[in-house]
Structure 1
Amino acid sequence: MEIPVSVPPFSTRVLTEVELRPEKVKQSLADLPLLNTAETGRKLFSTLSIYNRIAIEPATRLELLEMLRYPIRQITTELEKQFVGPPLPLAEKQKTIAEQCRQFHLEMAIGYKRYLIDAELPERAREQERFRGKAALATQRALRHLTGALLVSYQGYSPYPLGTWQEIHALYRHSETLGTKDLLLGDPEIRALPETSVSHAYKQALLLDLSDPYHLPVMMIGRIQQYLDRWAGLAKVLPPTEQFDPACQFLIDQQVDRSGIIYTADAELERPEHYRLLNTVELARRIHSHLTALQNAQEIPADGLSKDFFAASDEAQNLLVRLIQSFGHHPKRNFRRSTRAGTTKVEVALGLNAVNYWINGGAAFVVSSTFVGPNPQRGQISATNHRRQDVHVPDLEFSSWDVMDESAGGLALGKKGHIVARVRVGEIAAVRPAGDRVWRIGVIRWVKSPSSSSLEFGVQWIAASAQAVVVKVVTDEGKESDFLPALLLPEIPGLKQAASLVTTRGIYKADRVFYLDNGFRLYRVRITKPDEISHSFERFQFSMDAM
């Protein structure tokens, strides 16, 4: 069948030693030591690569691919543990492992695409129905593995393979033509639903990309994929309509190498047959119902998700808020950007420990109980007394970055070459122009790392200044924590933004009382309202009384 997808040419070598008998292959796969990830991974990839480059009867090819799915899934799951989570840029070894994982998905997709190209529509009606079922299965599997390749790219904050989206669109259009997009199929890799379909796989790929994964913490990307395993089917893929509807609509151009864009009134569709609309109204309603239940401390049935998916309420709420922002309404840029790529340099301190250290003038914080003198520990004003070359704390050093893009709301920064600093989405950061004294406070909202020697990330401002402080928690049993670094962010009346505290994870708890020291005196603090909970810090409003 004619499908505009790419597959490698057949090998001209005669490979008589390749085992193609399904019963023999099944036995050899059962004997593989899956705990030996490296050796077993090499054998599986070699076998799959050979299968994809030799002529095999289509039904046999499909059977062999289905046998390979489970062991390859086990290997890729182990590989993911080695590159998902570390700060960026990834080391060369981690980059190599991520690429191995991505290649497994791409090779599996090649196998299923090869089946679709080689299989021929039978003449008998009964056989045609069976053919349609197998074609739907092969298409769904190909879409799942292409989405797997995208997921690896998102989790490594690296570019996805060129042409991936064009192939995803082409496979879905092919299924539309055959009338198989909504046929229900079993898929052992999806535990959230008893049955799935080509349509579900296509919508899940679109939604994963439209969730803006390069702007998300890496662990949240995987959790969104799990959530969409269950709920992607609530979205609808529709033909474009003549009447514009702005509510939760995305425009999908199936001729280009991207997922989709926000559907706006000025969109011009010269050839409507090349477009589809993705409607997320029902999905947004379900997300909102889950969010409301969590906010009201109500238990949410797992309903196909893991039993503990909503157990960490703060993390689950953060995930659902992000999804509402992505699918429920379309954000607009608040500030005009000005591009100044490479012309300006800034200094960046990453992580709460380093930010507290440099806001405190490049000196370790001294609490009031041990500080003797008439003045409190000063913040930015003391920076002139501490030169960078006097500091010998490698983990707390700041680094220099090029400004790639700038607006009133934040910066896009980049660097090429040897990169020592390690960056994570959701990390707190302090930024100042090179040689300046004043640090602004922001949060890293997105990261891209095409290679281990290239990194870009975006910082969104949350405060024009901050005061370095420390906090201490006392448990109900009377156990005291150490003094932990924190930041006191000032009130901004013009933006109706209350003063807030930024602390390490684990401090926030509704109405919790703890202690804050600003270097001059000790205060009793009560948490009043959360502002943001990320994987690396918590920001909340508070009331404070002197001790």
Structure 2
Amino acid sequence: MRTGQLGLSIREISTLRQSAVGLSHRAVVQWLDALPIANTGESARQIYQFLVDINSQRVSVDERLQIMLTLRKTVSLINDALRKHYLGQSVSLNDKQRKIAALAQAMQSEMAIGFKTVVEDMMSDHHPRIQPNVLVPAVYHSIAYLSRVLVRCYQLYSQHPGRIWKELHTLFVFAEQNMLHRQPVDSDDAANSIERAYFRILLLAAANPYQLRQKEIDQLFDAAGELSAECHLQSYEAGAPLMVVDLDGDNGPLSQGQLTPKAVGQYRQLQLNDVIARIQDDLRSTGTVVVGSQRTATQQLGAPLLRHLVNAYGNQSTRSFSRTPANGTLKIAIGLSATHYLLSGKAPRAEPEPAVDELSAMSGSLLDATLVDDDRIRARYQTPSNAATRDYDPFAKLYRSPNKHDAQKHGDITAQSARNFTQNKEVSYDFHVAALINISPGGYCLAMRGAVPVQTQTGEIIGIVEQSESGESHWNIGTIRWMKRLPDGTLNLGVQLIAPSARPVETQVRNSQATSNSFQRALLLPALKGIGQPATLITSPIPYSIKQKVRIKESDKSYDVQLNKLVAASASYRQFQFSDALSQTEVRGDSKPGDPENFDNLWELI
């Protein structure tokens, strides 16, 4: 690799390297038409090899730009096919999955290098004049593919490559200085200019992506294309409660407290007031959207993610508590069901045999690992009558089995019964050991090595067991706020404490269909008098909501409550304040004859 005139990383020109494909637009089109697209592995190998070859060869600026633009559709198709092997799986990828993820990132990086080479060649001595029809698409797609590399890093909770933010800032400053940043680009994307493509990745980085789930990161990146129209960069003012972009640095947006003492000539402030106003409007309208009406990408994010954005973009306060370095280990249970299971005093389940997925069953190199038929690609060549229909599982996005055959055999979690969750043999109900990195009154930073439970996700409930000097165990209940994987493979977890203890209970929604609602696992948290919070109830996200009447069963007694206020929520749980539904009167055992619930089955018969 070498550094060009603008400071962009591009490949060294090699006269020894020869491409098997002719380096002309016509030859590339013919080659792409002959690619075995249904064979993901072979197509990926040939595409990657060609990208490395063309980025190492001398090609005219116009020809290179046309070739790179022609490759975009096929590269996108191949990357979509590769995604299913490393996204939606456990965050601990096996060797083959890591190779596939690395291949996907390498293809995106090579696409960025190709477009950056167009920019650098255009600025060389051979092309003294600025040609917007070449530079605008080249800079735009350079930013777009570098952004995709960052998205991949966020989704895998890994550190991003060095210099990537430096190059993003360099490309934007170059376009701004030459008045190219607001010229429209021929693109179906909402972010259809260099400025908006740059703002889109700034918005994603400013949203604390390591606190989000993989699918949420995808959704937010798409919505950020629309939100980029409301984003502005303005001159820097010291002390202003806004995010700052260091155009001369190698970082994304920073808060005022993260700035290092230096000349502020390249500092810009990221003005997000209009973005926040747009999100708040969409948040207010989420419950009033007419069924069947067209929703914007922002409205499709859903209320929990929109609330996260309002907090991330609008709250630039510093940490309330300082961190204290710590050492030692803790026992943890990950997931609402696993925490309930172990908190109930049940013996940890034996560790399941590792699932042998279709990748692990193969041998050989990365080429062999990716030589699989992709259902989505095959579907493009099938008629509708031949396409197989699949039952929709609303919880598949939360706990997806790496092996679709195992998922069908053992059953994924459903909204009908929490017991189904224990039948999913991919989910761990054992204690796991985590190392303490630091602590604060508000939570912990923990580290896990090796394979982690499949349910390890941001927003998941986590039970933490501390051992006293006398040997007594004390439970804390928290939630995973963020995750980040270090280069050595260690997974760091940021845990926010919710309560100092909990009681395992079972809950059932009470309505006219009460008999069809099974009891589900839940946690009853004590009142926190220090902050004036009464006792709360942690439930699964479905089917609980405010104003519902819920029956709580604890040991040999049960009672009804009304859910009054949503305290916190994520994709894995909801936390409610509640009040007694029967004026403090407990209901013990089943309902007696004459109780109103005994008429629940009658309404369907009338």
For 2:284 and 2:62, the matched residues in 1 are separated by 48
- Report what 1:177 is aligned to: 177
Contact 1:399 1:421 in 2 (8 A): no
User: Does 1:252 find its partner at 2:288?
Assistant: no
- Report what 2:558 is aligned to: 522
User: Does 1:352 find its partner at 2:348?
Assistant: no
- Report what 1:43 is aligned to: 46
How much identity, in percent, do the aligned residues show? 26
- Report what 1:328 is aligned to: 314
* Cα distance, 1:233 vs structure 2: 2.3
Out of 86-95 and 114-123, give the one that drifted further: 114-123
- Report what 1:385 is aligned to: none
Q: Secondary structure in 2 aligned to 1:71? A: helix
Q: Secondary structure in 2 aligned to 1:439? A: strand
Q: Secondary structure in 1 aligned to 2:286? A: helix
Aligned AA (2:320): N
For 2:313 and 2:95, the matched residues in 1 are separated by 35
- Report what 1:282 is aligned to: 274
* Cα distance, 1:476 vs structure 2: 3.6
- Report what 2:94 is aligned to: 91
For 1:501 and 1:267, the matched residues in 2 are separated by 40
Q: How does 1:38-437 map to 2 (within 5 A)?
A: 38-120=41-123, 131-188=131-188, 190=189, 193=190, 196-241=192-237, 244-246=239-241, 249-263=242-256, 270-294=262-286, 297-298=288-289, 305=296, 310=299, 316-340=302-326, 343-362=327-346, 395-417=428-450, 419=452, 423-434=456-467, 436-437=472-473
Q: Secondary structure in 1 aligned to 2:144? A: helix
* Cα distance, 1:269 vs structure 2: 6.8
User: Does 1:487 find its partner at 2:473?
Assistant: no
Contact 2:550 2:561 in 1 (8 A): yes
How big is each residue's C-alpha offset from its partner over 1:81-137, in whole Å with a ceiling of 9 and x where there is no partner?
22222232222222222211111111110001101111158999xx957x1232011
Aligned length: 501
Structure 1 stretches of 5 or more lacking a match?
365-391
* Cα distance, 1:333 vs structure 2: 1.3
Contact 2:5 2:124 in 1 (8 A): no
How big is each residue's C-alpha offset from its partner over 1:124-168, in whole Å with a ceiling of 9 and x where there is no partner?
9xx957x12320111110001001000000000011111111111
Aligned AA (1:40): S
- Report what 2:544 is aligned to: 508
- Report what 1:383 is aligned to: none
Kindly tell me: are residues 288 and 361 of structure 1, through their superposed partners in 2, closer, same or farther at Cα, counting changes over 3 Å? same
Aligned AA (2:113): I
For 2:111 and 2:515, the matched residues in 1 are separated by 54
Kindly tell me: are residues 256 and 436 of structure 1, through their superposed partners in 2, closer, same or farther at Cα, counting changes over 3 Å? farther
* Cα distance, 1:514 vs structure 2: 3.0
For 1:304 and 1:420, the matched residues in 2 are separated by 35
How big is each residue's C-alpha offset from its partner over 1:218-275, in whole Å with a ceiling of 9 and x where there is no partner?
221111111101111211122324x7533xx2211122211121236x9687433322
For 2:197 and 2:83, the matched residues in 1 are separated by 21
* Cα distance, 1:317 vs structure 2: 0.9
Q: Secondary structure in 2 aligned to 1:272? A: coil
Contact 2:502 2:525 in 1 (8 A): yes
Contact 1:418 1:453 in 2 (8 A): no
Contact 1:473 1:480 in 2 (8 A): no
For 1:453 and 1:185, the matched residues in 2 are separated by 40
Contact 1:132 1:180 in 2 (8 A): yes
Kindly tell me: are residues 32 and 117 of structure 1, through their superposed partners in 2, closer, same or farther at Cα, counting changes over 3 Å? same
Kindly tell me: are residues 534 and 456 of structure 1, through their superposed partners in 2, closer, same or farther at Cα, counting changes over 3 Å? same
Aligned AA (1:43): Q
Kindly tell me: are residues 301 and 176 of structure 1, through their superposed partners in 2, closer, same or farther at Cα, counting changes over 3 Å? farther
Q: TM-score, normalised on structure 2?
A: 0.77
For 1:84 and 1:95, the matched residues in 2 are separated by 11
Q: Give me the CA root mean square deviation.
A: 2.8
Aligned AA (1:263): Q
Q: Secondary structure in 1 aligned to 2:75? A: helix
* Cα distance, 1:417 vs structure 2: 4.6
- Report what 1:447 is aligned to: 483
Kindly tell me: are residues 498 and 91 of structure 1, through their superposed partners in 2, closer, same or farther at Cα, counting changes over 3 Å? farther
For 1:453 and 1:274, the matched residues in 2 are separated by 35
Aligned AA (1:355): T
Aligned AA (1:276): R
Contact 1:350 1:430 in 2 (8 A): yes
Aligned AA (1:211): A
Q: Secondary structure in 2 aligned to 1:446? A: strand
For 1:413 and 1:240, the matched residues in 2 are separated by 36
Aligned AA (1:63): Q
Aligned AA (2:78): I
For 1:447 and 1:267, the matched residues in 2 are separated by 23
Contact 1:147 1:205 in 2 (8 A): yes
For 2:336 and 2:239, the matched residues in 1 are separated by 46
Aligned AA (1:107): E
Q: Secondary structure in 1 aligned to 2:479? A: strand
Q: Secondary structure in 1 aligned to 2:185? A: coil
Aligned AA (1:98): A
Contact 2:444 2:496 in 1 (8 A): yes
Q: TM-score, normalised on structure 1?
A: 0.85
Structure 2 stretches of 5 or more lacking a match?
349-424, 588-606
* Cα distance, 1:452 vs structure 2: 8.0
Kindly tell me: are residues 277 and 37 of structure 1, through their superposed partners in 2, closer, same or farther at Cα, counting changes over 3 Å? same
How big is each residue's C-alpha offset from its partner over 1:366-390, in whole Å with a ceiling of 9 and x where there is no partner?
xxxxxxxxxxxxxxxxxxxxxxxxx
Q: Secondary structure in 2 aligned to 1:501? A: strand
Q: Secondary structure in 2 aligned to 1:509? A: coil
Aligned AA (1:280): L
For 1:203 and 1:150, the matched residues in 2 are separated by 14
* Cα distance, 1:3 vs structure 2: 0.6
User: Does 1:13 find its partner at 2:16?
Assistant: yes
For 1:300 and 1:53, the matched residues in 2 are separated by 52
For 1:352 and 1:25, the matched residues in 2 are separated by 52
- Report what 1:389 is aligned to: none
Contact 2:19 2:53 in 1 (8 A): no
How big is each residue's C-alpha offset from its partner over 1:512-536, in whole Å with a ceiling of 9 and x where there is no partner?
2232210121222322222222222
Q: Secondary structure in 1 aligned to 2:302? A: helix
Q: Secondary structure in 1 aligned to 2:48? A: helix
Contact 1:441 1:462 in 2 (8 A): yes
* Cα distance, 1:497 vs structure 2: 1.3
Kindly tell me: are residues 452 and 14 of structure 1, through their superposed partners in 2, closer, same or farther at Cα, counting changes over 3 Å? closer
Contact 2:509 2:544 in 1 (8 A): no
Kindly tell me: are residues 418 and 200 of structure 1, through their superposed partners in 2, closer, same or farther at Cα, counting changes over 3 Å? closer
Kindly tell me: are residues 88 and 451 of structure 1, through their superposed partners in 2, closer, same or farther at Cα, counting changes over 3 Å? farther
Aligned AA (1:143): I
- Report what 1:369 is aligned to: none
Aligned AA (1:103): A
Kindly tell me: are residues 199 and 87 of structure 1, through their superposed partners in 2, closer, same or farther at Cα, counting changes over 3 Å? same
Q: Secondary structure in 1 aligned to 2:463? A: strand
